Amino acid sequence: MKLFHRLRALFRKDGLDQELSEEMAFHLEKQIEQNTAAGMSAEEARFAAMRKFGGVEQAKEDCRDAWGVRAIDTLRQDIRFGLRTLAKTPRFTAVAVLTLALGIGANVAVFSVVNTILLRPLPFPKPQQLVRIVSKDPAGGESNMTYSADAMEEYQQRNRSFQEVSGYFAFSGPDNLKLTGRDQPQAVTGLMVAGNFFHTLGIEPVLGRTFRPEECIRKSRPVTVLGHAFWKRQFSGNPSLVGHTIDLDGSPVTVVGVLPEMFDFGSVFSPGAKIDLYTPAILDDIRDAGNTMALVGRLKPGATLAQAQAEADLLFPRLVQNLKHPEWGGDYTARLLGLKDYVSGKLRRSLVVLWSAVGLILLIVCVNLANLQLARATARSKEFAMRSALGAGRARMIRLLLTESLTLSLAASVLGLGIAFAVTRYLAHQGSIAWPLLASVRIDGSALGWTLLIAVIAAVLFGVIPGMRVSHGNLQEALKESGPGRSAGRKHEGLRVTLVVSEVALACVLLVGAGLLLRS
């Protein structure tokens, strides 16, 4: 019932007051009737009922307190007064909102990047089962992180920890195919993948199917699976294309499927790469090409990465015995990494540093605004002195200033979200920064929750210090300081100097840190 009355008080305050008055009047009339029935005159009965019932307005206030309505009323009054006060100082309000919006926008944008790359799971079913298999000594580059087609087949057959092991040809260059048979030949980027590659990742096509085993052998019918963006761009999203042929390098190739929009090979496995279509890797054709296959596997339910690593330590040195070219695998080793760690592990420190830097920027903004709020509150010291004289407690005045700060912070958050949306949209559609998963960066529910959290924290940071300082003052001193011939706010000079020094110190820390990062 208390929650019900609170909700009603938010939207129907006048109606609730009227119901309270009617209920009080009803109980009062009932008491008068009882007194009259006991032999009192009409006037005596009314006075007796009023004495027994107490003050009507006091009873209303007691009801409001019991329902929690008074707190809502007070909050509504504080918000209205805060909005009027901020409207009277438009330049201060504009500067505060814009400054805070830049700090919040930077924080939300960086949080969206951190959330996408470090916190959010990979866009595959049961991503915790996916493992990237690389050499223990990757110092020689990509060729030391790949294996031969024979080694991949041997490991597929002999391991007991993985449901499936698959891979892709790691040395495909951009624009390695030509789409012909249309107006002008167009360069497209194709990638050869093992027949079970999409099944291992758990990717189901939105149209058609993926590759069948008989399509992954020599002299089989050429087939391809199209990336979603390429299908939309080049073929206008025509669903009837599946089952028909397109011309690649002058030869007909049958389109057997279209991948879902959420699958972006480049963002996970090769940041910056844009893959248009996929063809099955004919292992017989690449057995003599060297260590060309990058391996990925899906663990069996219940299998752990440590178990799979222990098994790989035993298996990989023995794979050489059955290879067509044992000299390629003389130093085969395997380091198993969770695919998420492989994708984002190298960026973890950099992103944490970047996140800390924008957090420091927001802290500088809050210190700056706290100083401005303190100066503004000092100019209003006479107003707060009068409030104190009329009975307003310290907590009440702090709450009033916090409400103003929260109003500023929420307004800045709306603008900051717009800035963050523009930044994340730019990051998702540019190609100059080769970071994994960057193309999927977006403002989602987590980013909105983070925005609300930092808005509240920022409001407390730059609102509570001025509130406590002003509410702690002496009434007579405040009135004297506000009078003619006095230097208003002299007692706050020490705190304001401290805030300025803190702001400059934080800025120096940020500047020195940025310089060290650039140098290294």
Provide, rounded to the nearest whole percent, the portion of the chain with pLDDT above 70.
78
**Least confident stretch, 14-23, 294-303, 442-451:** 14-23
The model's confidence at residue 486, banded by pLDDT at 50, 70 and 90, is very low
The model's confidence at residue 1, banded by pLDDT at 50, 70 and 90, is very low
Structural element, H or E, at residue 213:
none
Q: What DSSP assignment string belongs to 385-452?
A: HHHHHTT--HHHHHHHHHHHHHHHHHHHHHHHHHHHHHHHHHHHH--SS--TTGGG----HHHHHHHH
The model's confidence at residue 490, banded by pLDDT at 50, 70 and 90, is low
* 207-208 and 186-188 strand pairing: unpaired
User: Highest mean pLDDT: which of 212-221, 375-384, 504-513?
Assistant: 212-221
483-492 long-range CB contacts below 8 Å, 24 or more apart?
488/378, 488/379, 488/381, 489/375, 489/378, 489/379, 489/381, 492/374, 492/375, 492/378
Residue 432 pLDDT > 80 = no
pLDDT (0 to 100) of residue 11: 46
Cβ atoms of residues 328 and 143 within 8 Å: no
pLDDT (0 to 100) of residue 484: 45
CA distances from 410 to 100, 195, 286 (A): 10, 52, 60
pTM of the model: 0.74
The model's confidence at residue 14, banded by pLDDT at 50, 70 and 90, is low
Angle at which helix 381-389 crosses helix 348-379, to 10 degrees, equals: 70
Question: Per-residue pLDDT averaged across 497-517, rounded?
Answer: 82
Residue 108 pLDDT > 90 = yes
Q: What are phi and psi of 296, to 5 degrees?
A: -140, 145
User: Highest mean pLDDT: which of 28-32, 195-199, 329-333, 444-448?
Assistant: 195-199
pLDDT (0 to 100) of residue 74: 67
**Cβ-based burial of 334 (10 A; exposed 0-12, middle 13-18, buried ≥19):** buried
Cβ atoms of residues 383 and 55 within 8 Å: no
What's the pLDDT tens digit per position in 168-224?
A: 999 888 899 999 877 788 999 999 999 999 999 999 999 999 999 999 998 899 999
What's the pLDDT tens digit per position in 315-361?
A: 888 877 767 666 665 567 889 999 999 988 888 888 998 898 899 88
The model's confidence at residue 252, banded by pLDDT at 50, 70 and 90, is very high
What's the pLDDT tens digit per position in 207-216?
A: 999 999 999 9
Ramachandran assignment for 193, one of left (phi > 0), alpha (psi -120 to 50 degrees), beta (any other)? beta
Mean pLDDT, rounded, of the chain: 82
Measured distance CA(377)–CA(390) in Å, rounded? 18
Residue 460 pLDDT > 70 = yes
The model's confidence at residue 488, banded by pLDDT at 50, 70 and 90, is very low
Kindly provide the b/e burial profile for residues 276-307, where b requires at least 16 CB atoms within 10 angstroms of the residue's own CB. Answer: bbbbbbbbeebbeeebbbbbbbbbbeebebee
**Cβ-based burial of 55 (10 A; exposed 0-12, middle 13-18, buried ≥19):** exposed
Residue 3 pLDDT > 50 = no
Maximum distance among all Cα pairs of the chain, rounded to whole angstroms: 118
pLDDT (0 to 100) of residue 485: 41
Cβ atoms of residues 260 and 206 within 8 Å: yes
What's the pLDDT tens digit per position in 53-106?
A: 666 556 655 555 555 555 666 667 777 877 888 888 888 889 889 999 999 999
Q: Which of 268, 256, 270 is nearest to 437 (CA)?
A: 268
233-241 long-range CB contacts below 8 Å, 24 or more apart?
234/179, 234/186, 234/188, 234/276, 239/207
* Strand partners for 169: 293
pLDDT (0 to 100) of residue 242: 95
Question: Per-residue pLDDT averaged across 234-239, rounded?
Answer: 92
The model's confidence at residue 284, banded by pLDDT at 50, 70 and 90, is confident
Distance in Å from the first CA to the final CA of the chain: 62
Provide, rounded to the nearest whole percent, the portion of the chain with pLDDT above 90.
37
Question: Per-residue pLDDT averaged across 445-472, rounded?
Answer: 83
Please give the single-letter amino acid code of residue 32: I
Residue carrying the six token digits 């210190």? 367
Q: Quick count: other Cβ atoms within 10 Å of Cβ 456? A: 16
Question: Per-residue pLDDT averaged across 458-485, rounded?
Answer: 63
Q: Quick count: other Cβ atoms within 10 Å of Cβ 193? A: 27
